[in-house]
Amino acid sequence: MTEFGKALSVTETPIPGLLLAELPVHGDSRGWFKENWQREKMVAEGLPDFGPVQNSVAFNDERGTTRGIHAEPWDKWVSVATGRIFGAWVDLREGETFGTVFTAELDPSRAIFVPRGVGNSYQTLEAGTAYVYLVNDHWSPDADYTFLNLADETAGINWPIPIDEAIISDKDREHPRLADVAPITPRKTLVLGASGQLGRALRNRLGDAAHVEYATREDLDLRAADLAGARRWRDYDTIINAAAYTAVDAAETPEGRAEAWAANTTGVASLARIAAENRITLVHVSSDYVFDGTQEAPYTETAPVTPLGVYGQTKAAADAVVSAVPRHYVVRTSWVIGDGRNFVRTMASLADRGVSPRVVGDQVGRLTFASDLAAAILHLLRTGAPFGVYNVTGAGAPQSWADIARAVYRGTGHDDAQVTDVTTAEYFAGQPGPIAPRPRNSVLDLTKIIATGWQPSEGGEALDAYLAAEGVDA
Give pLDDT, residue 158: 97
Cα angle: 104, vertex 107, 113; to 5 degrees: 60
Domain locations in the chain as residue ranges: 9-180, 188-468
Compute the average pLDDT of residues 304-330: 97
Ranges 74-88, 343-357, 371-385, 460-474: which has the least confidence? 460-474
- For 329-342, what is the mean pLDDT? 95
Q: Read off the pLDDT band of 472 (50, 70, 90).
A: low
Q: What is the DSSP letter of 467?
A: H
Give the CATH class of 188-468.
alpha beta
Give residue 98's pLDDT band: very low, low, confident or very high (50, 70, 90).
Answer: very high
Q: Among 143-147, 203-207, 211-215, 395-399, which is the least confidently predicted range?
A: 143-147
Residues in a beta bridge with 337: 369
What integer is the mean pLDDT of 32-42? 95
- Using CA atoms, how far apart are residues 179 and 99, in angstroms rounded to an integer? 10
* pTM, to two decimals: 0.89
Mean pLDDT estimate for the chain: 94
Residue 470 has pLDDT above 80, yes or no: no
Distance CA 100, CA 124 (A): 22
What mean pLDDT do residues 184-202 have? 95
- Determine the pLDDT at residue 59: 96
Given a cut of 70, whether residue 27 has pLDDT beyond it is yes
DSSP state of 457: P
Q: Is the pLDDT of residue 274 over 50?
A: yes
pLDDT score for 233: 93
pLDDT of residue 474: 43
Min mean pLDDT across 11-15, 198-202, 468-472 is at 468-472
Mean pLDDT of 74-99: 96
| pLDDT at residue 271 greater than cutoff 90 | yes
Tell me, which fold does domain 9-180 have in CATH?
Jelly Rolls (2.60.120)
Helix 370-383 to helix 197-206 angle (10° resolution) is: 50
- pLDDT at residue 143 greater than cutoff 90: no
Provide mean pLDDT across the span 390-406. 97
pLDDT digits (tens, 9 = 90+) for 400-444: 999 999 999 999 999 999 999 999 999 999 888 899 999 999 999
Q: Which residues are catalytic?
A: 70, 133
Amino acid identity of residue 88, one-letter, is: A
Query: Which CA distances in Å does 7 have to 70, 104, 436?
Result: 30, 18, 61
Distance CA 187, CA 279 (A): 11
H-type alpha helices, 73-218: 170-173, 197-206
Same fold, 9-180 and 188-468: no
In this structure, the strands spanning 110-114 and 76-82 are: antiparallel
The DSSP string of 334-348 is -SEE-SSS-HHHHHH
Find the mean pLDDT for residues 137-157. 91
- Residue 270: the pLDDT is 96
Average pLDDT for 238-244: 97
| Residue 178 CB neighbours (<10 A) | 17
Q: Would you say residue 308 has pLDDT above 60?
A: yes
- Residues 115 and 44 sit within 8 Å (Cβ to Cβ): no
CA-wise closest residue to 82 among 125, 128, 34, 36: 128
Cis peptide before 337 (omega within 30 of 0): no
Distance CA 22, CA 25 (A): 9
Residues 6+ apart with CB under 8 A from 345: 472, 473, 474
